[in-house]
Every structure is written in C-alpha cells, then in structure tokens.
Amino acid sequence: MRNFILPFKQIKNLLILITFIALGFTANAQYKENTEVGFILGASYYLGDLNTTHLNNSLPFGGIVIRKNIDRRFSYKAELLYLNISGDDRGDATDTIAIDRGLHFRSSIFELSGQIEFNFLPFESGNALYTWTPFVYTGLSFFRFNPQAENKDGLWVNLQELGTEGQGSTSFPERTKYPLTQLAIPLGGGLKIAINPSFNVILEYGVRKTFTDYLDDVSTTYPEGVNSNVIDISNATYEMSDPNKTHIAGEQRGDPDKKDWYSFVGITLSFKLNNNTKGCDY
C-alpha cells in the first residue's frame, strides 16, 4: 500500500487553521463572564391611531438594566422600565379627520423584559482593544398599560373600564374588554462605549412590537347607540367615545388592521460588578 503523504501546501494550511482555532479557544478561556447593573433614562412615545409620527409627544421614561456578558459578542439582559406615552387628535390643525374625532389619551407602561444582545464588534470594558461596538437585541417583554382621558369635568378616567367601542355591552357581545397586561417583542440597537474598566455608556433606540391595537383605546368603530339611549352603554362611555358628538353608530373610529407600537430613545449608565479579572494581556 502506498504511503499517504500530505503535500507541503496542505500541511501549511492545516497548521494555520489549527492555530486560529487554538487562538479562539484561548481568547474565550481568557474572557471572564461579568455582570453589569445600569440605569436608563430617555424619552418614550407611541405609534398608533392618535400618533403616526416618530418621536412626537415624547415623554420621560426610566428603568433598571441588568446585563450578563457571556463573551465579547453576546450578552443576556433583564430590564424593568417605566414609560409614558400619549396622543392627541386636537394637536394637529392640518388633520381635519383627527380634529373631528377629537380624541386624546395618556398611559403609563410598566415593562419587564428578557433580551439577548449581539455585538457587531468584540467588546470588553477594561480592554483597550475592544472599547466600543454597535449592537442589536431582541427578546420577550411583558407590559401593563392603562389608557386614560380627561373628561368634561377635568378628571382623568380609565378608558378600558368604560368600553368606549361597546366592549362588554349587549350591543357588541363579540367585543370583549382588552387585557391591560400583554406581551410584546422588543427590538432595538445602539452603541456601547467603554469609559473605563468598570463603567460603560450605552446609547439605545428601542421599539416594542405589541399585539394590541388598544394602547390608545382606539381601534374599530363607534358603539351601537351613540346619541341614543342603550341601557348598558353609559353616558360617560358616549362622552369619552365621541367627545365632539359628531359621529353615528358604526362609523370608523380607528384602524384595526394596524397594531400599536411603543418606542424610546435612551442612554444607559452601566457599572460592572465583578471587575476583579481582565481579559487577555495587552
């Protein structure tokens, strides 16, 4: 049987491949997982029937972030956020449909989410070779909201309880009141900057894909019996459903084919907890 001998070029390429693999294992071995705790602040807003423009009606938000860096590319993140959103038909003098509808709302949102982040560049605070990177993330969020509007007496009332589109009435038995606690898909990205071995600044833009059209309490049509007396639809419901009293039963109030989103722009100040080890020497 002939002896099998690898040509020199193939041996060279094999040695190069083995070297790269070994360097990769060495780098991973030298990287120590670490945890960061941070505080995020910024501005939040929503997109839906009462607002179609990004960053319009932005309001302050804040939260706490815990990030587990498992290597220079991937991190796990848990986030607890308190956001504020609002919309107002009365603020756009050029939109005659919105002015005629005359609706407005505000809502706080409490969100708890788990996410996974991917860094486009290797990133490690405390390592002069890897001091910044763009990143993206996704995951799963639980959030609670509660849209409110101001009535004619100047009081802010909970709109979901009223059933402003006939939810919970005999006129619309197929319309049930929407749940105030729901799921969303967090999507976003930004820029991480290592200021020193223990402190990072993170710039972030995030959006939340929801599965509801009722962040603003507006979705389908005006309820059966507007401007009439239906026993299980209250006067308060009529008032908050059609404050200008210019619509009739069945007229379109919102667009049910487009779900609502909420978004934010923020900056995180993040502090590393276990900063007793470094990565590779340099």
176 pLDDT more than 70: yes
Residue carrying structure tokens 């505000």 = 106
| pLDDT band with cut points at 50, 70 and 90 for residue 279 | very low
- Average pLDDT across the chain, whole number: 88
**Nearest-10 Cα torsion for 246, 248, 252, 256:** 120
pLDDT tens for each residue of 190-203: 999 999 999 999 99
What confidence score (pLDDT) does residue 173 get? 85
How far apart CA 81 and CA 155 sit, in angstroms, is 26
What confidence score (pLDDT) does residue 276 get? 54
What confidence score (pLDDT) does residue 10 get? 59
What confidence score (pLDDT) does residue 26 get? 45
**Between residues 27 and 102, the one the model is more confident about:** 102
- In this prediction the pTM is 0.85
**Between residues 172 and 6, the one the model is more confident about:** 172
What confidence score (pLDDT) does residue 17 get? 55
132 pLDDT more than 90: yes
Where do the domains of the chain lie? 34-272
Joined tokens for residue 257:
């084919």
What confidence score (pLDDT) does residue 225 get? 53
The pLDDT > 70 percentage for the chain reads 83
Q: Give the β-pairing of 34-47 and 261-272.
A: antiparallel
What confidence score (pLDDT) does residue 15 get? 52
Other C-beta atoms closer than 10 Å to the C-beta of 60 total 12
Q: Is 262 exposed, middle or buried (0-12, 13-18, 19+ CB in 10 A)?
A: buried
Joined tokens for residue 10:
């193939």
Answer whether 68's CB lies under 8 Å from 33's CB.
yes
Q: Is 228 exposed, middle or buried (0-12, 13-18, 19+ CB in 10 A)?
A: exposed
CATH 3.40.50.10420: does it fit domain 34-272? no
Residue range 255-260: average pLDDT? 95
What confidence score (pLDDT) does residue 272 get? 95
The pLDDT > 90 percentage for the chain reads 72
Residue range 134-139: average pLDDT? 98
27 pLDDT more than 60: no
What confidence score (pLDDT) does residue 9 get? 61
How far apart CA 14 and CA 113 sit, in angstroms, is 45
How far apart CA 245 and CA 239 sit, in angstroms, is 8
21 pLDDT more than 80: no
pLDDT tens for each residue of 223-233: 865 445 555 67
